[in-house]
Homo-oligomer: A and B are copies of this chain.
Amino acid sequence: MGATKTDQFTDKQNEIAVLAKALGHPARVAIIDYLLKVDACICGDIVNELPLAQPTVSQHLKELKNAGLIKGNIEGTAICYCIDEKVWSKLQSYFTGIALKIEKKKANCC
């Protein structure tokens, strides 16, 4: 007991859950914020931008990368982290879809 029953849910449900979970920590939201703010792939500065030790930041970056939210390219001794564009449109359409469904009912609701 204690292990998520991934196989009992649909691929789509698991995919959204993985992406949402990756964003489910303020440090990781902050990393995304920063990557968007500097409007470029950023090499290095991320650790200095966060109130956490270097290994902790590295771990959060790894989780964001595993989920597919960012990607990292090696640039000499530094690593260049970028927003990975692909999945973000999935998230946008997921939440836009929900917002549209919510718009359309209103009636049946308590």
Interface residues, chain A, with chain B CB atoms under 8 Å away: 4-6, 8-10, 13-14, 16-18, 20-30, 32-33, 36, 39-41, 51-52, 73, 75, 80, 82-83, 85, 88-89, 91-92, 94-96, 98-99, 101-102, 105, 108-110
User: Is B5 in contact with A29, judged by CB distance below 8 angstroms?
Assistant: no
Closest B residue, CB atoms, query A98: B88
Which of B9, B27, B29, B95 is close to A91, meaning CB atoms less than 8 Å apart?
A: B95
By Cβ-Cβ distance, the 10 closest A-B pairs, closest first, are A21-B24, A9-B26, A40-B108, A20-B23, A8-B51, A92-B99, A17-B26, A24-B24, A20-B24, A13-B29
Copies of the protein in its oligomer: 2
